[in-house]
Amino acid sequence: MTELLTAAQMREIEQAAIASGSVTGLELMELAGRGVVDAVFEEWPEWAKTPHRAVVLCGPGNNGGDGFVVARLLKEAGWEVEVFLYGDAEKLPPDAEVNYEIWCKADKVSPLIFAKVLGAVRPDLIVDAVFGIGLSRPLPDDVTQSLNRGRKTIWKKQHQIKTVAVDCPSGLDLDTGMIPTDVDVNDPDADPWPSTLNFADLTVTFHSPKVGHYLGLGPQFCGKLRVIDIGLDPRGRDRSMLGQTPDPERTCLIEPVFAGRPLPAHIWPLSHLSKYRGQGHKFDHGHVVAFVGGAGRGGAGRLAARAALRVGAGVVTVVCPPDALAENACQLSAIMLRALPEGAALDTVVDRRASSFCIGPGLGIGAQTRDLVGQVLRRRAGDDDWRDPAVVIDADALGAFADDPSVLFAQTHARTILTPHEGEFERLFPDLALSQRAARSKVDVVRAAAERAGCVVLLKGVDTVIACPGGGASVHSATGPREVPWLATAGAGDVLAGMIAGLAAGSATGGVFNLAEVAVWLHVECARSFGPGLIAEDLPEELPKVFRALGV
């Protein structure tokens, strides 16, 4: 996996490297600046052949120092470069001051005042090196006006001007992926985007991506993201978490590593898929029990059941009310059916070989659903089992506990996975809801939720976050090359719940946290493989094609 860092962690890594004597701050700044220029020329190769014009906007910290290096290197390449500094040059950090003085020997630095930037010759490239990681306050007006091509007219044909951001577009909080603002979010008349729109065509960051590059508005504001190696200690990157408890001090991102094929063996814990090679008995690959609603309300549960079977479960059983038995029999062939009368004990229709449960889609919100959830969560490993069954709780099974979530949390165990969307998450964790997060990132709140719930929590979205008790967290960002807006279709979440249950049912060595990560990746990969026009029923049927492409 690729490690995501917070701003504080990145600073600690840099400081540790400098303290060890392996590198100096000036060397890091030079490598960063060169990395930005190299990335620019790789993104727009014609610029490496013919000099162009650049405006470099530098800030009062080391991000500004990187900007001075970029300016110098572009000038050495024959470019016309104008540099603007926000803040007092005498207060620059030592390394940034050195590069400021080097630039001043070659050319002038103007104060970063909007009126002065407006007077610059129209550039081909704007370099945003004003504020990098760690900014958690709104941008000053002069910076906002100088960078905001979306609302302020500075030069003609703005769409032809490219912007590269050093570390991140100024104004983006790299711990949350949000834009700090003074606007009262509860004021219905307030403009939620008060002069803060600052989009980059290319963002160049260093050593590892940061959390905010992939959360919230980060992908939208950053444009294409490039990660540059600047010689810091590579240990800790691309770590395997297979069979391990995730490090509570780190977050991990699936997408950049999984985007290539085949998937790395250390992150593909699907040993139960050996059945495709003719090995093992069907029960060796897991028995999933999926609950389905009453007559006319079984579609969601059937989607989950189909996904569980397609993803690799050896046996899938659908449990439904007696009045829905005929309806489900008409829809399902390879999936077994059991009728469960209201008030009956689950053990009367489901034997002890069930290794995974998917409960919630289409069940309805009420006492019967709460009772079924309780019965499922009380299941424990029998004499022939080596671990407790996995339990995926989704949709109505979450909503059934909205009045008192603590009742649910008192029953969960380590192999439980809650899979809410934002609305369901708000009902279970009202103090962690989107409207209440303030400066906390989505990663932070899902970690807190997992700790409170005592199990894995998967908060669905374009920036899906998965967390487990103890602080381990993973982010899957369906953006950039993995953007799949057509996945926003009714039933897609039910399919994901079934995929998690199916993966967790077998004898794979990964824990439910790891398997939830794999399921989210496969879910998006199926949508990418199918393309626009997707409906939820297509997702399970696309899995064989995805598996073949992976060589499984």
Residue 304 sits at the vertex; the CA angle it makes with 531 and 317, to the nearest 5 degrees, is: 140
What pLDDT is attached to residue 271? 40
CATH 3.40.1190.20, the chain: domain bounds: 255-513
Low-confidence ranges of the chain (pLDDT < 50): 150-152, 194, 236-278
> Is there a contact between 512 and 456 (Cβ–Cβ < 8 Å)?
yes
What pLDDT is attached to residue 283? 65
Three-state SS sequence of 316-350: EEEEECHHHHHHHHHHCCCCEEEECCCCCCHHHCC
| Distance between CA atoms of residues 408 and 425, nearest Å | 13
What pLDDT is attached to residue 462? 94
> Residue 89 burial (CB < 10 Å; 0-12/13-18/19+)?
middle
Phi, then psi, of 74 in degrees rounded to 5: -65, -40
What pLDDT is attached to residue 136? 75
What pLDDT is attached to residue 284? 65
DSSP 226: E
Nearest Cα to Cα of residue 197 among 213, 220, 176, 216:
220
What pLDDT is attached to residue 267? 35
> Is there a contact between 358 and 326 (Cβ–Cβ < 8 Å)?
no
| Distance between CA atoms of residues 268 and 246, nearest Å | 16
The structure tokens listed for 204 are 């160049």
> Is there a contact between 317 and 328 (Cβ–Cβ < 8 Å)?
no
> Residue 403 burial (CB < 10 Å; 0-12/13-18/19+)?
exposed
| Distance between CA atoms of residues 198 and 57, nearest Å | 13
What pLDDT is attached to residue 353? 86
CATH 3.40.50.10260, the chain: domain bounds: 2-238
pLDDT one-digit tens code per residue, 350-368: 988 899 999 999 999 999 9
CATH for 2-238 is 3.40.50.10260
Residue bearing tokens 């449960």: 357
| Distance between CA atoms of residues 522 and 484, nearest Å | 12
The CATH class of the 255-513 domain is: alpha beta
The structure tokens listed for 238 are 């691309």
Residue bearing tokens 């993803």: 311
Q: Would you give the distance in Å from CA 110 to the centre of its chain?
A: 39
Neighbours of 14 (CB within 10 A): 18
pLDDT one-digit tens code per residue, 487-522: 999 999 999 999 999 999 986 556 899 999 999 999
Entry pTM? 0.86
What pLDDT is attached to residue 247? 43
